[in-house]
């Protein structure tokens, strides 16, 4: 998995609450058997019309935000389905960090498996960052995972909370499966014990 430490880039503003995974990547793109190539269809039904032409008003179609690496959004971002295609599409587009007042549980976890940093901050802080993002491509926001800070283009700093284990895995780009496989002896002994206690499982 890709490591994440620091990121400075353009932030795209999406001031909408409850952005769901069907919006992020509609179901017709879930038929792939690969992880790559979904960036072209990120927010597909908001981004393109039925004929496949870009909708000019949509934020990621505007010249200032076509290269955005950060997304600032409303509360409950990523609600809905468990589809990891949502973070795959976000990452494939080039976005490495999503900032919102809150995230849906499964989406939040899925981000960490893909080198994406989801940052939850109080609404007032997100409001400031949203305003900063609305300034366009000259306003570059900075994220420092080690320090757990987001800095606006004006130098205003916000500190965010993050689970220490998740932070560690993201900074080191660690593979969860490899970590767990190293605990195989514990799993073996759990299974042996469970086979006695709950043989019907």
- The least distance separating another protein from the CB of residue 200, rounded to whole angstroms, comes to 4
Positions 114 through 173 that interact with another protein (CB under 8 A)? 114, 123, 163-165
Residue choice 7, 83, 98, 121 for contact with another protein (CB under 8 A):
83
149 bridge partner residues = 144, 159
3-state secondary structure of 129: helix
Nearest to 11 by CA among 197, 181, 138: 138
Q: Taking CB under 8 A as the rule, which mask of x and - marks residues 87-106 in contact with another protein?
A: x--------------xxxxx
Report if residue 41 touches another protein, rule: CB under 8 A.
no
Report if residue 177 touches another protein, rule: CB under 8 A.
yes
Report if residue 54 touches another protein, rule: CB under 8 A.
no
Q: Which residues contact 160 (CB under 8 A, 6 or more apart)?
A: 119, 120, 121, 148, 149, 150
Cα–Cα distance measured from residue 177 to residue 169, given in angstroms and rounded to the nearest whole number: 12
- The least distance separating another protein from the CB of residue 15, rounded to whole angstroms, comes to 7
CA angle 72, 121, 104 (to 5 degrees): 75
- The least distance separating another protein from the CB of residue 175, rounded to whole angstroms, comes to 9
Q: Which residues contact 34 (CB under 8 A, 6 or more apart)?
A: none
Residue choice 61, 62, 109, 142 for contact with another protein (CB under 8 A):
109
Looking at the Cβ atoms of 9 and 104, the one nearer to another protein is 104
Cα–Cα distance measured from residue 185 to residue 201, given in angstroms and rounded to the nearest whole number: 20
Nearest to 70 by CA among 4, 26, 13: 13
Residues that bind another protein (CB under 8 A): 15-18, 20, 22-23, 26-28, 30-35, 45, 50, 74-76, 79-84, 87, 102-106, 109-110, 113-114, 123, 163-165, 176-177, 179-181, 183-184, 186-187, 190-191, 194, 198-201
């Amino acid at each position: 998995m890709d490591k994440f430490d620091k990121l400075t880039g353009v932030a795209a503003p999406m001031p909408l609450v409850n952005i769901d995974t069907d919006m992020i990547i509609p179901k017709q793109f879930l038929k792939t058997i690969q992880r790559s190539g979904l960036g072209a269809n990120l927010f597909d039904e908001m981004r393109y019309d039925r004929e496949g032409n870009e909708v000019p008003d949509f934020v990621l179609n505007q010249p200032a935000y076509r290269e955005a690496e950060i997304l600032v959004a409303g509360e409950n971002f990523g609600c809905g389905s468990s589809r990891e295609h949502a973070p795959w599409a976000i990452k494939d587009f080039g976005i490495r960090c999503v900032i919102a007042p809150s995230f849906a549980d499964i989406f939040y976890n899925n981000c960490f498996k893909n080198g994406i940093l989801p940052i939850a901050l109080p609404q007032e802080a997100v409001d400031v960052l949203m305003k900063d993002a609305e300034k366009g491509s000259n306003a570059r926001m900075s994220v420092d995972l080690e320090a757990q800070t987001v800095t606006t283009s004006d130098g205003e700093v916000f500190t965010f909370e993050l689970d220490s284990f998740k932070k560690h895995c993201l900074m080191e780009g660690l593979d969860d499966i490899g970590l767990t496989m190293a605990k195989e002896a514990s799993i073996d002994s759990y299974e042996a014990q469970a086979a006695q206690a709950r043989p019907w499982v």
